[in-house]
């Protein structure tokens, strides 16, 4: 837009708003009611965040595994580590508790100590029979001792699955039906049935029951997210409104600001529901984000209104000038902030794409609400009293501005030295940043379910499923002895890897069959020789019970086999080394022309997703910088001004990245967001400052020093106000129990604080040092968009038209 058209546009907007205030308020209420009606479509995420695009090779591989073997994340485990469990009363009670879960519709099967079967050789019929270890309730300690001896010494097939023979820890495996694992029915079962029954058992028998498994973890995690949304919104409203009140000392102005951001939050939830998106750990952050970002809009608009009222006392004229003078600047800053979030739309990750869409739409919405509601409400309110305007004359604000001016004038070299030093130190810190692909790292550490995760990691070497699928490329290829031997060698490597649990596969079942053939002697728990294989296999073919066991390890055609292990919570670097070691062994054992072997599982998919996001971080941030640079090029029409404006906004990002390296904060999905968010917000201050600087140059006949200090005086206090609100607003996320959310809040707050100092000290210093090459009529052309109208732009009193 040209200077004239920009001025004319906002004058038309001002007239429309102030002349049609009742209609606009009705439209806002109707829109809010419509969006509120969409809340019913909101749903909380029942699956892990898939950070990869649907067509990514890792996702394709994982989905192929699911097509053959079904959902692999449907296991819930309950466990007890207590010597007193091995008494008649408590042990029978534990078996009854485990048995009780079999009768719920949500449960596919339950495996407990009472369900364990001995594979017994039937010589007459030349087949294997299954006999239970426990035929009925145990009646004596002798029976329990015998059971322990059999389990812990004679039958290694079950070791590390339902018990740990070293620590005597017992657990029960509850497999949910695969079609309800990713639905609300899973939550109802876990919260209303599982937790209630376990708690009752604990209280009655004085035993500490541990519960875990991916469905349980996901449910409790979602429950925590739901609980924190209200806390974040309440904390953000309290902190930002309190700071707002300290600045303005007006309950009226504070209440107006709260009305605006409250409508913004309602619209945000409505947008989520309207688009049918899930509420997950990222989208849950948007409502409080809108409060934090919306309050600075209110500060700029209300501050301008009060300044205008103090200047000439005409309320309607003041409101008209708020819209014409501040409307464009506020729009530009909201657009740049929205652009920072919108870059996530291009990451190809559904999780980040949805976050980017909702956040950017919500930021534009809060601008629309601010520019409409604030002027309209003030038309119904009386003239501000003198006490409402006292904050405009505070001495400390003048002292703050004088300090900034003195630093820029007298300590410019010091500012440059500090900036270069921080840059150098930060680059060293960046080299120390690590990448984290852990599924549970961000989960709340002080919760019982997180402690239970660590318990099962310690007792059973992890709960994160890692799967290896072997395609023999021919029907019944799995049961060939040569294939079983290859699988056994691979399992030995898995067993020797301390971060992985003892693997379970058809190999274990074949070893168990040989042990059964030799009358249960544990020394024969090994693969059969080629001579033994034929007659052991003949027993297995006649055994329907063994065929049932095979279903878990081999597909119906006998072509595909799976090796299941569980992984501890480890970092991406360790996971990559384990994957590399496994892949090396696979390449050696399974020739590509005969076998196709894939490594997959939820833990691996998440780790690969994190790596993918890190690669996309550079793309997302570069895109944000490019978009905003193009935006500023269109506004200022000066390449040199773009370079100068980007420096003070990129430096804080580098400093924050350096801090992450020194403090050991890894790059992960939550912290990846920091840079694009912070850049999109911090550049707002630069736009305000440069727009005012451009205006001062024209007003002062291109006298650079006078213009820089004039811009600093005019914008310094507002930038300080908004930065403080943003700093403390984002700090509310440090109240979270999720490590990633805490890191996000702390890092964005720190970045915005650095950005404020950079824009108030480094930016004016650069303008003064490069004055000859930047500030002249040739290089600093008339801007395409008039961000802040000149003082005489609005001198015509348009109030008569309103």
DSSP code string of 359-401? HHHHHHHHHHHHHHHHHHHHHHSPPPPHHHHGGGG-HHHHHHH
Q: What is the mean pLDDT of residues 51-80?
A: 82
The residue behind tokens 């000149």 is 790
pLDDT digits (tens, 9 = 90+) for 634-690: 766 667 777 887 888 889 889 988 988 898 888 776 677 788 778 878 787 787 777
Dihedral angle at the C-alpha atoms of 277, 449, 113, 501, nearest 10 degrees? 80
| CA–CA distance, 613 with 672 (Å, rounded to integer) | 8
Q: How far is CA 757 from CA 208, 429, 442, in A?
A: 53, 21, 31
Predicted pLDDT at 730: 86
Listed range (364-378, 379-393, 446-460, 776-790) with the worst mean pLDDT: 776-790
Task: Say if strands 117-122 and 127-132 run parallel, antiparallel, or are unpaired.
Answer: antiparallel
**Residue 202 pLDDT grade (very low, low, confident, very high; cuts 50, 70, 90):** very high
Predicted pLDDT at 263: 95
What is the CB neighbour count within 10 angstroms for residue 54? 10
Annotated domain spans of the chain: 1-41+226-393, 396-431+638-769
Q: Are residues 674 and 617 in contact, defined by beta-carbon separation less than 8 angstroms?
A: no
**Phi, psi (rounded to 5 degrees) for 181:** -60, -35
| CA–CA distance, 471 with 571 (Å, rounded to integer) | 29
784 has a pLDDT exceeding 60 = no
Task: At 532, list the tokens.
Answer: 């033994």
| CA–CA distance, 634 with 628 (Å, rounded to integer) | 10
Q: Is 666 exposed, middle or buried (0-12, 13-18, 19+ CB in 10 A)?
A: buried
**396-431+638-769 falls under which CATH superfamily?**
Multidrug efflux transporter AcrB transmembrane domain (1.20.1640.10)
Helix, strand, coil distribution of the chain in percent, nearest 5: 70, 10, 25
| CA–CA distance, 321 with 317 (Å, rounded to integer) | 6
* DSSP code, position 277: -
Q: Is 599 helix (H, G, I), strand (E, B) or coil?
A: strand
Predicted pLDDT at 801: 40
Predicted pLDDT at 425: 94
Which is higher by pLDDT, 522 or 264? 264
**Would you say the C-alpha torsion 738, 740, 743, 747 has a positive or negative sign?**
negative
Predicted pLDDT at 504: 86
At the top level of CATH, the class of 1-41+226-393 is mainly alpha
Q: Is 365 exposed, middle or buried (0-12, 13-18, 19+ CB in 10 A)?
A: buried
Predicted pLDDT at 526: 87
- Strand-by-strand arrangement of the 596-600 sheet: 560-567, 464-471, 596-600
Predicted pLDDT at 388: 59
391 has a pLDDT exceeding 70 = no
HSE at residue 441, side-chain half, CA atoms within 13 A, is 22
Q: Are residues 634 and 785 in contact, defined by beta-carbon separation less than 8 angstroms?
A: yes
Among residues 39, 119, 232, the alpha carbon closest in space to that of 525 is found at: 119
Which residues face 212 on adjacent strands?
77
**Residue 555 pLDDT grade (very low, low, confident, very high; cuts 50, 70, 90):** confident
Among residues 624, 733, 638, the alpha carbon closest in space to that of 694 is found at: 638
Predicted pLDDT at 799: 42
Q: Are residues 340 and 676 in contact, defined by beta-carbon separation less than 8 angstroms?
A: yes
Task: Say if strands 169-176 and 127-132 run parallel, antiparallel, or are unpaired.
Answer: unpaired
Q: Are residues 309 and 315 in contact, defined by beta-carbon separation less than 8 angstroms?
A: yes
Among residues 367, 361, 380, the alpha carbon closest in space to that of 327 is found at: 367
Rg (CA), the chain: 33
What mean pLDDT is reported for the chain? 81
Task: At 92, list the tokens.
Answer: 């029978």
Among residues 395, 227, 370, 223, the alpha carbon closest in space to that of 305 is found at: 370
Task: At 42, list the tokens.
Answer: 């909101």
Q: Are residues 443 and 217 in contact, defined by beta-carbon separation less than 8 angstroms?
A: yes
* DSSP code, position 2: -
Residue 175: which residues within 8 A CB-CB, separation 6 or more? 74, 75, 76, 107, 108, 109, 110, 111
Predicted pLDDT at 209: 93
Burial 371-391 (b: 16+ CB within 10 A, else e): bbbbbbbbeeeeebeeebbeb
pLDDT digits (tens, 9 = 90+) for 86-108: 888 998 999 899 989 988 888 88
| CA–CA distance, 712 with 761 (Å, rounded to integer) | 9
607 has a pLDDT exceeding 80 = no
545 has a pLDDT exceeding 60 = no
Q: Are residues 396 and 620 in contact, defined by beta-carbon separation less than 8 angstroms?
A: no
Among residues 555, 537, 584, the alpha carbon closest in space to that of 472 is found at: 555
Among residues 145, 386, 86, the alpha carbon closest in space to that of 250 is found at: 386
HSE at residue 219, side-chain half, CA atoms within 13 A, is 25
| CA–CA distance, 781 with 613 (Å, rounded to integer) | 40
Predicted pLDDT at 680: 77
329 has a pLDDT exceeding 80 = no
194 has a pLDDT exceeding 50 = yes
* DSSP code, position 292: H
**Residue 590 pLDDT grade (very low, low, confident, very high; cuts 50, 70, 90):** very high
319 has a pLDDT exceeding 50 = yes
Listed range (278-282, 332-336, 425-429) with the worst mean pLDDT: 278-282
Predicted pLDDT at 3: 47
231 has a pLDDT exceeding 50 = yes
Q: Is 592 exposed, middle or buried (0-12, 13-18, 19+ CB in 10 A)?
A: exposed
Predicted pLDDT at 470: 93
Q: Is 762 helix (H, G, I), strand (E, B) or coil?
A: helix
Q: Is 598 helix (H, G, I), strand (E, B) or coil?
A: strand
| CA–CA distance, 193 with 727 (Å, rounded to integer) | 43
What would you measure as the largest C-alpha separation in the chain, in angstroms? 110
Among residues 371, 398, 304, the alpha carbon closest in space to that of 692 is found at: 304
Predicted pLDDT at 29: 94
Task: At 665, list the tokens.
Answer: 């904060």
Q: What is the mean pLDDT of residues 716-739?
A: 83
What is the CB neighbour count within 10 angstroms for residue 791? 10
Q: What is the mean pLDDT of residues 529-555?
A: 67
* DSSP code, position 135: S
Predicted pLDDT at 772: 59
Predicted pLDDT at 586: 92
Greatest mean pLDDT among 573-577, 590-594, 681-685 = 590-594
HSE at residue 784, side-chain half, CA atoms within 13 A, is 10
**Same fold flag, 1-41+226-393 and 396-431+638-769:** yes
Predicted pLDDT at 396: 64
* Residue 120 host element (H or E): strand 117-122
Listed range (380-389, 403-412, 545-554, 697-706) with the worst mean pLDDT: 545-554
pLDDT digits (tens, 9 = 90+) for 483-502: 999 999 999 999 888 888 88
435 has a pLDDT exceeding 90 = no
**Phi, psi (rounded to 5 degrees) for 43:** -145, 145
**Residue 800 pLDDT grade (very low, low, confident, very high; cuts 50, 70, 90):** very low
Q: Is 518 helix (H, G, I), strand (E, B) or coil?
A: coil
Predicted pLDDT at 349: 74
Predicted pLDDT at 437: 63
Residue 767: which residues within 8 A CB-CB, separation 6 or more? 644, 693, 704, 708, 774, 775
């Amino acid at each position: 837009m040209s200077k004239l058209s920009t001025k004319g546009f906002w004058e038309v907007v001002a007239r429309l708003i102030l002349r049609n205030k009742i209609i606009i308020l009705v439209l806002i209420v109707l829109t809010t009611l419509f969006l509120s009606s969409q809340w019913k479509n909101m749903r909380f995420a029942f699956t892990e965040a898939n950070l990869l695009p649907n067509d990514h090779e890792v996702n394709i591989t994982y989905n192929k595994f699911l097509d053959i073997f079904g959902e692999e994340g449907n296991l819930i485990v309950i466990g007890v580590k207590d010597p007193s469990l091995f008494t008649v009363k408590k042990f029978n009670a534990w078996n009854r508790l485990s048995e009780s879960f079999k009768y719920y519709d949500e449960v596919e099967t339950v495996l407990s100590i009472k369900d364990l079967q001995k594979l017994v050789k039937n010589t007459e019929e030349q087949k294997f029979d299954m006999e239970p270890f426990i035929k009925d309730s145990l009646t004596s300690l002798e029976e329990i001792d015998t059971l322990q001896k059999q389990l812990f010494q004679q039958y290694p097939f079950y070791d590390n699955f339902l018990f740990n023979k070293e620590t005597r820890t017992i657990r029960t495996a509850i497999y949910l039906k695969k079609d309800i694992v990713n639905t609300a029915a899973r939550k109802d079962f876990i919260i209303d049935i599982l937790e209630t029954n376990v708690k009752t058992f604990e209280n009655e028998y004085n035993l500490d029951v541990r519960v875990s498994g991916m469905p349980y973890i996901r449910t409790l995690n979602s429950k925590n997210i739901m609980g924190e949304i209200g806390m974040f919104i309440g904390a953000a409203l309290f902190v930002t409104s309190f700071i707002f009140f300290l600045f303005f000392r007006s309950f009226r102005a504070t209440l107006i600001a709260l009305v605006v951001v409250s409508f913004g939050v309602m619209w945000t939830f409505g947008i989520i529901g309207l688009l049918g998106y899930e509420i997950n750990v990222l989208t849950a952050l948007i409502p409080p984000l809108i409060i934090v970002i919306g309050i600075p809009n209110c500060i700029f608009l209300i501050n301008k209104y009060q300044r205008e009222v103090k200047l000439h006392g005409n309320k309607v004229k003041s409101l008209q000038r708020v819209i014409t003078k501040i409307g464009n600047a506020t729009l530009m800053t909201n657009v740049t902030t929205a652009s920072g979030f919108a870059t996530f739309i291009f990451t190809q990750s559904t999780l980040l794409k949805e976050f980017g869409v909702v956040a950017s739409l919500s930021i534009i919405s809060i601008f629309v609400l601010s520019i409409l509601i604030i002027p309209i409400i003030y038309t119904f309110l009386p003239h501000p009293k003198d006490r409402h305007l006292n904050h405009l004359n505070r001495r400390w604000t003048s002292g703050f501005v004088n300090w900034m001016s003195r630093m820029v004038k007298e300590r410019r070299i010091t500012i440059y030295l500090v900036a270069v030093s921080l840059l150098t130190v930060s680059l060293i810190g960046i080299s120390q940043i690590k990448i984290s692909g852990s599924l549970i790292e961000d989960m709340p550490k002080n919760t019982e379910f997180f402690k239970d995760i660590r318990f099962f990691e310690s007792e059973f070497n992890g709960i994160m499923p890692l799967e290896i699928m072997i395609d023999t490329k021919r029907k019944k290829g799995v049961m060939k002895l040569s294939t079983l031997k290859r699988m056994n060698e691979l399992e030995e490597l898995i067993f020797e890897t301390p971060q992985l649990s003892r693997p379970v596969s058809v190999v274990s079942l074949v070893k168990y069959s040989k042990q059964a053939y030799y009358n249960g002697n544990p020394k024969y728990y090994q693969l059969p020789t080629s001579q033994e294989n034929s007659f052991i296999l003949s027993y297995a073919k006649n055994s329907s019970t063994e065929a049932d066991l095979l279903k878990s390890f081999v597909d119906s055609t006998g072509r595909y086999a799976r090796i299941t292990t569980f992984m501890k919570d480890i970092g991406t670097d360790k996971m990559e080394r384990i994957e590399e070691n496994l892949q090396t062994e696979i390449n050696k054992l399974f020739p590509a022309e005969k076998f196709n072997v894939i490594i997959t599982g939820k833990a691996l998919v998440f780790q690969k997703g994190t790596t993918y996001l890190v690669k996309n971080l550079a793309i997302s941030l570069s895109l944000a910088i490019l978009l905003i640079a193009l935006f500023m090029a269109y506004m200022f029409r000066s390449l040199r001004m773009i370079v100068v404006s980007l420096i003070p906004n990129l430096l804080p990002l580098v400093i924050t990245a350096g801090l992450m390296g020194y403090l050991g904060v890894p790059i992960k999905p939550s912290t990846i967001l920091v840079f694009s968010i912070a850049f999109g917000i911090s550049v707002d201050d630069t736009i305000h400052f440069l727009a005012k600087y451009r205006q001062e140059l024209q007003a002062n006949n291109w006298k650079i020093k006078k213009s820089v200090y004039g811009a600093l005086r005019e914008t310094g206090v507002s930038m300080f106000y908004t930065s403080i609100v943003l700093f403390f607003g984002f700090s509310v996320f440090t109240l979270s129990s999720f490590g990633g959310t805490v890191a996000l809040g702390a890092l964005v707050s720190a970045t915005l604080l650095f950005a404020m100092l950079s824009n108030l000290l480094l930016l004016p210093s650069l303008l003064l040092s490069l004055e000859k090459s930047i500030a002249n009529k040739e290089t600093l052309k008339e801007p395409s968009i008039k961000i802040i109208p000149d003082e005489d732009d609005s001198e015509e009193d348009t109030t008569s038209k309103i």
